[in-house]
Structure 1
Amino acid sequence: MSEHQPGRHMAAEIDQQPGVFADLVARRGDIASVAGAIAARKPRFVLLAARGSSDHAALYAKYLTEVLLQLPAGLVSPSTTTLYGAQPDLRDVLLVTVSQSGGSPDLLEVTESARSRGALTVAVTNTPDSPINAAAELQVDIGAGVERAVAATKTYSATLLALYLLVDAIRGGNGSTVANVGDLARATLDQSADAVAEAVQRYRFVDRVLTTGRGYSLPSALEAALKLAETSYLAARAYSGADLLHGPVAAVDAETAVLAITSTGRGGDALHEVLDAVHGRGADVLAVGSVSDKVSAALRVPVADTAEEVAPILEILPVQRLAHGLSLARGGDPDSPRGLNKVTRTR
């Protein structure tokens, strides 16, 4: 394979994910140790700080925290600290900073500031020697290995799995729900390949894409829109299925491609009404998920069935392949999207 072949790194990193998952599950004891320290502190509230793809992973963790731990959780607005100098009392708060690189200056400042104000701080990164890891009291290494493509694939999905293992261990679980997630990931990539290839051909000339999901799958819809925008330069917009019906559905017509994330569970059930509505307006719907065959859609991409709270780890895999394929079909290089760097430094 030529060193300069477009998309070779992203393709390889997508394919590495089953092995990354298996290795991470095998190291769940390390994450359980961090979870034990958190449980001992008995936090009353959880804050999550992140940017970009990691922000979507943080939203996933918010759902896990509120549903599985029954704790209130929120997403930090870093600029309240970095631009406005807010200094809230964070005693009894758990702050989880999610950053693949561990190098974003604003997230570093948020972590340092929160720790100085009484929060228990945890860094979830792919870079054990990063500044954010050094600033946090506790660390979770997602262990995805070096990622050479600019668009995050294996680091995103591994972050989801690490966050699930962390929350599951806090509630006293042993990770049994994801014991075979590596095998499920391989099955998903293999079984969805033909449908993804068909989707690439169907949507290669589309200009406008709307992505949607409910519940645990909302972060997948957000990540899907980001991947399509950064690799294929599509005008992609993500909505919660509930929010979509509160106005934006009026802009949906026969020229709109809708990528719907729909998996087993309450979130997938709640999306049926939404997809009936957009399908009725003539939209071309691509359904991705374990119940994609049960919704109104023009094309369906299967995903291995699993517990609803685990589904985002798997349902994003064929979406990554779709973004990769569309970028190549449209003449791009998904390894090096224009104007982007691997580490984005914001304040």
Structure 2
Amino acid sequence: MAELGPGEGMATDVAEQAEGYARLLDAGLAPIAAVSRRIAELKPRFVLFTARGTSDHAALFAAYLTEIRLGIPTGLASPSAITVYGARPDLRDALVVGVSQSGGSPDLTEVVRVARDAGAHTLAVTNNPDSPLADIAEMHVDVLAGKERAVAATKTYTAELMALLLLVESVRGIDAADRAELDRLPELARGVLADPTATQLAARYRFADRLVTTGRGYAYPTARETALKLMETSYLSALAFSGADLLHGPLAMADPDVPVLAVVGDGPGGKAMGEVLGRLAERRADVLTVGSGAAPANAVRIPTPRVDERFSPLLDILPLQQLALSLAIARGEDPDAPRGLKKVTETL
């Protein structure tokens, strides 16, 4: 088999995401619904997600969903509290969810093991049903993404988003309107991926030294994942802030020489970005907005389809992945194999 050129693996992974959505809606929904029914029966008093890297951003999205849609207090666990400091918190009646593409991270496996011993119900969300994390957890959800070619995660990230979305919504109960909108996502994703705007914009940021990404609510995980992709593929100094946090001290770094990538939908989170965009305009910042929300007159924009804000992260991240891919290649890098990175995080 011919060796792939720089970025060809990541490009193929990115292109397969619409099919990944369709696969989860078809083959994945029934097993996810079965896990959701079990969670509903257990009635956890709170939920803790534990993850690393890209999966941590998917977990953050799920945390927003769980609190907003299910009304259950939710947080992100600090694995080092258990693996480094030996903490043994009281987790009776909690649901602890480990999110990991490989399922091979020792620290996450240890957190889930300790949580189960401490009385928690445990769930693993992975792309590998035979992994140590899936084996140690009481329940498992397979995100069905298939083998990912590039080290930088793309299709496994969006598969985690979709699986976690279906999990939470199935606990609540997916009505006909939501099911119809979910069924539109694969085709909408194909349309977003066919838009060349993100690729064309890569040259605009080729010589940037640093960037800022920002968003609020459901868009905040997208901002964080975008910053990570830019750092690990183009070696840019990319800082992610919620829109609310950006309005404090970090706003001082915004100027025409520091591009800002803002994820802006037309739901409550996107509307809450209005003041942020206004303040950035006052500072004459170089702003690129991604999403279905309105953009200020001075901003460059990559539009995405208008959907319920819960579903926007599955579309908004796609052009930002394309931007990271094209920017890395423009800067002479190979995003398939970022320097010094491995697919499995082995921190303990």
Give your verdict on TM over 0.5. yes
Q: Mapping of 1:1-347 within 5 angstroms?
A: 3-26=3-26, 27-173=28-174, 176=179, 177-191=181-195, 193=196, 195-291=197-293, 293-347=294-348
1:179-209 per-residue CA deviation (whole Å, 9 max, x = no partner) reads 2211111011123x2x213311211111110
Instruction: Percent identity, please.
Output: 55
Give the residue type in structure 2 aligned to 1:104: S
Cα deviation for residue 76 of structure 1 reads 0.2
Which segment drifts farther, 172-181 or 252-261? 172-181
Residues 229 and 112 of structure 1, relative CA distance in 2, 3 Å threshold: same
Cα deviation for residue 128 of structure 1 reads 0.6
CA RMSD of aligned residues (A): 1.2
Q: Is the 8 A contact 1:144 1:155 kept in 2?
A: yes
Give the residue type in structure 2 aligned to 1:188: V
SS of the equivalent of 1:53 reads: helix
Give the residue type in structure 2 aligned to 1:322: L
Residues 168 and 297 of structure 1, relative CA distance in 2, 3 Å threshold: farther
Number of matched pairs:
344
Residues 42 and 346 of structure 1, relative CA distance in 2, 3 Å threshold: same
Cα deviation for residue 2 of structure 1 reads 5.2
Runs of 4+ in 1 over 2 A off after TM superposition: 293-298
Q: Is the 8 A contact 2:295 2:301 kept in 1?
A: no
SS of the equivalent of 2:150 reads: coil
1:217-265 per-residue CA deviation (whole Å, 9 max, x = no partner) reads 0000000000000000001000000000011101211111000001120
For structure 1, the 5+ residue unaligned runs are none
Distance in 1 between residues matched to 2:80 and 2:299, nearest whole Å: 42
1:95-129 per-residue CA deviation (whole Å, 9 max, x = no partner) reads 01000000000000000000111111000000110
SS of the equivalent of 1:179 reads: helix
SS of the equivalent of 1:139 reads: strand
Q: Is the 8 A contact 1:204 1:326 kept in 2?
A: yes
For structure 2, the 5+ residue unaligned runs are none
Q: Is the 8 A contact 2:124 2:139 kept in 1?
A: yes
> If the length of structure 1 is used for normalisation, what is the TM-score?
0.97
1:125-147 per-residue CA deviation (whole Å, 9 max, x = no partner) reads 00110000000000000000000
Q: Is the 8 A contact 1:255 1:283 kept in 2?
A: yes
SS of the equivalent of 2:273 reads: helix
Q: Is the 8 A contact 1:286 1:297 kept in 2?
A: no
1:156-201 per-residue CA deviation (whole Å, 9 max, x = no partner) reads 001000000000001122561412211111011123x2x2133112
Distance in 2 between residues matched to 1:60 and 1:295, nearest whole Å: 26
Q: Is the 8 A contact 2:289 2:295 kept in 1?
A: no
Q: Is the 8 A contact 1:276 1:296 kept in 2?
A: no
Give the residue type in structure 2 aligned to 1:190: A
SS of the equivalent of 1:19 reads: helix
Q: Is the 8 A contact 1:99 1:124 kept in 2?
A: yes
Q: Is the 8 A contact 1:32 1:169 kept in 2?
A: yes
Cα deviation for residue 298 of structure 1 reads 2.8
Cα deviation for residue 296 of structure 1 reads 4.6
SS of the equivalent of 2:266 reads: coil
Q: Is the 8 A contact 1:285 1:296 kept in 2?
A: no
Give the residue type in structure 1 aligned to 2:338: P
SS of the equivalent of 1:180 reads: helix
Distance in 2 between residues matched to 1:155 and 1:320, nearest whole Å: 12
1:265-314 per-residue CA deviation (whole Å, 9 max, x = no partner) reads 000001111011112212110111112x4335431111121110110111
Cα deviation for residue 4 of structure 1 reads 3.6
Residues 325 and 29 of structure 1, relative CA distance in 2, 3 Å threshold: same
Distance in 2 between residues matched to 1:295 and 1:217, nearest whole Å: 18
Distance in 2 between residues matched to 1:114 and 1:245, nearest whole Å: 37
